[in-house]
Amino acid sequence: MTSRFDHRKYRAFPVIRKTDRRWPDQTISSAPQWCSVDLRDGNQALIEPMTVAQKQRMWALLVKMGFKEIEVGFPAASQPDFDFVRWLIEENQIPEDVTIQVLVQARDELIERTYESLIGARRAVVHVYNSTSPVQRNKVFGLSQQGIIDIAVKGARKVADEARKYPATEWVFQYSPESFSSTEVQFATEVCNAVIDVWQPTPDNKAIINLPATVESAMPNVFADQVEWFCDNVNRRDSVTISIHTHNDRGCGVAAAEMAILAGADRIEGTLLGNGERTGNMDIITMAMNLYSQGIDPELDISIADDIIATVEACTNIKTHPRHPWVGELVYTAFSGSHQDAIRKCLAQQSDDEPWDVAYLPIDPQDLGRNYQSVIRVNSQSGKGGASYLLEQALGVTFPRWMQIEIAQPIQKESERREGELNTQDILNVFRTTFMNSDGRYSLAGYQVDKHGSQYHIQASVNDGSQMMLVHGNGNGAISAFADAMHKATGLDAQIVQFDEQAVAEGSDASAMAFVQASIRGSRYTAVSQDGDTLTASLTAILSAINKAMIDSQAVA
């Protein structure tokens, strides 16, 4: 069988030959006017449309996040949408500063029914649309360009006429040339100008013209050219809010919306996490977080990210991808050892009063309610940085570098053995059994240290099974004096190769942790001990290293 995968079946999207392109030199410096279409476009795309309870939950979230414009349904086409609009109005669910929006096709009877759904609303956007692209004109409607303009103009007139019947409501009119991005831009502008002529908006009473990429069919720079061309040629630009409604067929829904803002648009329609027809609507969370990460107030509260995800999942029955931009479960997690190491170093240097500057973390995960525990996760790819970081957080200490290297090996072995990820408790268990296990032949019962000039003398009582040994030794510090005492008593010469001690962070029972590496009979033994007394912690760590050497020599014997 021959493959049907044949690129010759498709044509390149025609680009606009523009010589006055200005948008590439623009920057975004403030949030656009947001409009959530979760309850309309998002809802229309669900396998199971939202129940009343789900709509109410989604509405509550959108209001809590700070949306000021929310498209709540298509009331003339759906009884549940009609009932939901009535519930919002009759139950006084719409805050003073929030405006609801409803969608309707440019058909008289549907427009009439739409206004009925809105009776009693303080303020509402009536959003009317018809399709304008060549494929819709030629193959779906069988209409000429004039036929499409006539539908739009008739719809616009009906919208204005019906509004006059309900003067108690503050009405805002919105028109969408559906499939704008696939329409010849000159024709799309002609249709919109005809609608604007009907509505006669003013700077104090603006109309909204919404430009949909109903199907995303070109690169986002092409869309930006279309929007810039439109902004330059639309009538009464100062009386029109230019809105953008992109879909994500090529995966560039957010990029296209951002570039459209550069090209002059004022308003963005989209959905939370991008639910919508086919590959979805423009994802407002991603675009808002893109702004936030550039130091721009998104004017939406995304700090409740986990609440947003839980609500969207519960209302749409669609799981959020763990690598979803900004808010996915794994997006602030580093498994790679070099990434973990870099994150750890940068976090240690990051202070609260400086701009955020941490390798591999474009924003502070805490802003979204994520903690640093989840930033670093340990598997067999992780190396030394990650495990040390998690241990340091759990134990309240900072490990010396040599100790970080020591820790890495047993952790790596354990994760290879398990063929999977280790959590903080697993890592603590490995650390304690490898380095803090003081089981063995000797244990410290007591000691006394005296200093004579620069020399230290120690006398210590050491349990050796059922017997008590009294050991004596000298050195240029208490630690070397103890090593000397144990050498004399047991014949085991413990050369201290590494030694560090750390105060344990407040709140812990013990105040000191000692890290010792001793060379005994040609092998290195590392031990860690924690105690309320610094010297006791150090001496216990040395004994623990000696115990390990004893266990090893018994194993060899």
Binding stretches for Zn ion (CB under 5 A): 41
Q: Are 247 and 253 in contact (CB under 8 A)?
A: yes
- Per DSSP, helices labelled H in 102-144 are 108-117, 134-135
**What CA–CA distance (Å, rounded) separates 180 from 214?**
7
Question: CB-wise, 221 or 248, nearer to ligand KIV?
Answer: 248
21: Cα separation from own chain's centroid: 33
E strand or H helix at 468: strand 467-475
Q: Which residues pair with 472 in a beta bridge?
A: 459
The span of 206-214, 305-313, 355-363, 488-496 binding ligand KIV (CB under 6 A) equals 206-214
**What CA–CA distance (Å, rounded) separates 122 from 486?**
87
| Binds 129: which of ligand KIV, Zn ion, none (CB < 5-8 Å by kind) | ligand KIV
Q: Is 73 in the site for ligand KIV (CB under 6 A)?
A: no
Residues in CB range of 521: below 8 A, 6 or more apart = 492, 493, 549, 553
CB of 156 to Zn ion, least distance (A): 20
**What CA–CA distance (Å, rounded) separates 251 from 253?**
6
**What CA–CA distance (Å, rounded) separates 347 from 326?**
19
The span of 58-66, 209-217, 227-235, 283-291 binding ligand KIV (CB under 6 A) equals 209-217
User: What's the burial of 249, exposed, middle or buried (CB within 10 Å: 0-12/13-18/19+)?
Assistant: middle
What secondary structure does DSSP assign to 46-112, as a single string? -SSPPPHHHHHHHHHHHHHHT-SEEEEE-TTT-HHHHHHHHHHHHTT-S-TT-EEEEEEES-HHHHH
Q: Is 178 in the site for ligand KIV (CB under 6 A)?
A: yes
CB of 179 to ligand KIV, least distance (A): 6
Q: Is 286 in the site for ligand KIV (CB under 6 A)?
A: no
CB of 214 to Zn ion, least distance (A): 6
One of 42, 212, 280, 365 touching ligand KIV (CB under 6 A) = 212
Q: Which residues pair with 455 in a beta bridge?
A: 452
Q: Is 155 in the site for ligand KIV (CB under 6 A)?
A: no
Q: Is 214 in the site for ligand KIV (CB under 6 A)?
A: yes
Closest by CA to 175, choosing from 247, 97, 241, is: 241
Q: Which amino acid is at 146?
A: Q
Q: Which residues pair with 194 in a beta bridge?
A: none
Q: Are 39 and 52 in contact (CB under 8 A)?
A: no
Question: CB-wise, 118 or 213, nearer to Zn ion?
Answer: 213
One of 41, 69, 216, 426 touching ligand KIV (CB under 6 A) = 41
Question: CB-wise, 153 or 428, nearer to ligand KIV?
Answer: 153
| Binds 246: which of ligand KIV, Zn ion, none (CB < 5-8 Å by kind) | none
**What CA–CA distance (Å, rounded) separates 549 from 101?**
76
CB of 265 to ligand KIV, least distance (A): 14
CB of 85 to ligand KIV, least distance (A): 17
**What CA–CA distance (Å, rounded) separates 106 from 297?**
37
Closest by CA to 309, choosing from 324, 298, 295, is: 324
| Binds 117: which of Zn ion, ligand KIV, none (CB < 5-8 Å by kind) | none
| Binds 383: which of ligand KIV, Zn ion, none (CB < 5-8 Å by kind) | none
Question: CB-wise, 103 or 387, nearer to ligand KIV?
Answer: 103
Any binding-site annotation on 41? yes
Size of the site for ligand KIV (CB under 6 A): 10
Site for ligand KIV in 106-135 (CB under 6 A): 129
Sheet strands side by side (includes 523-531): 494-503, 512-520, 523-531
Any binding-site annotation on 281? yes
Own/partner contacts of 306-310, CB < 8 Å, gap of 24 or more, are 306/368, 306/369, 307/61, 307/64, 308/61, 308/65, 308/272, 308/273, 309/273
Question: CB-wise, 201 or 276, nearer to ligand KIV?
Answer: 276
Q: Tell me which residue has its CB nearest to Zn ion.
A: 41
Q: Which residues pair with 526 in a beta bridge?
A: 517
The span of 115-123, 186-194, 207-215, 446-454 binding ligand KIV (CB under 6 A) equals 207-215
Q: Which amino acid is at 266?
A: D
Q: Is 176 in the site for ligand KIV (CB under 6 A)?
A: yes
Q: Is 74 in the site for ligand KIV (CB under 6 A)?
A: no
CB of 245 to Zn ion, least distance (A): 5
Whose tokens are 């802003």? That residue is: 367
Question: CB-wise, 36 or 490, nearer to ligand KIV?
Answer: 36
CB of 152 to Zn ion, least distance (A): 17
Q: Is 182 in the site for ligand KIV (CB under 6 A)?
A: no
Question: CB-wise, 41 or 406, nearer to Zn ion?
Answer: 41
Question: CB-wise, 103 or 481, nearer to ligand KIV?
Answer: 103
| Binds 178: which of ligand KIV, Zn ion, none (CB < 5-8 Å by kind) | ligand KIV
Q: Is 245 in the site for ligand KIV (CB under 6 A)?
A: yes
DSSP symbol at 506: T
CB of 209 to ligand KIV, least distance (A): 11
Sheet strands side by side (includes 467-475): 442-452, 455-464, 467-475
Any binding-site annotation on 7? no
Any binding-site annotation on 531? no
Question: What x-and-dash track marks residues 477-496 binding ligand KIV by CB under 6 A?
Answer: --------------------
**What CA–CA distance (Å, rounded) separates 68 from 407?**
52
Closest by CA to 549, choosing from 494, 496, 497, is: 494
Interface with ligand KIV by CB under 6 A: which residues?
A: 41, 103, 129, 176, 178, 210, 212, 214, 245, 247
Show binding-site residues.
41, 245, 247, 281
Show binding-site residues for Mg(2+).
41, 245, 247, 281
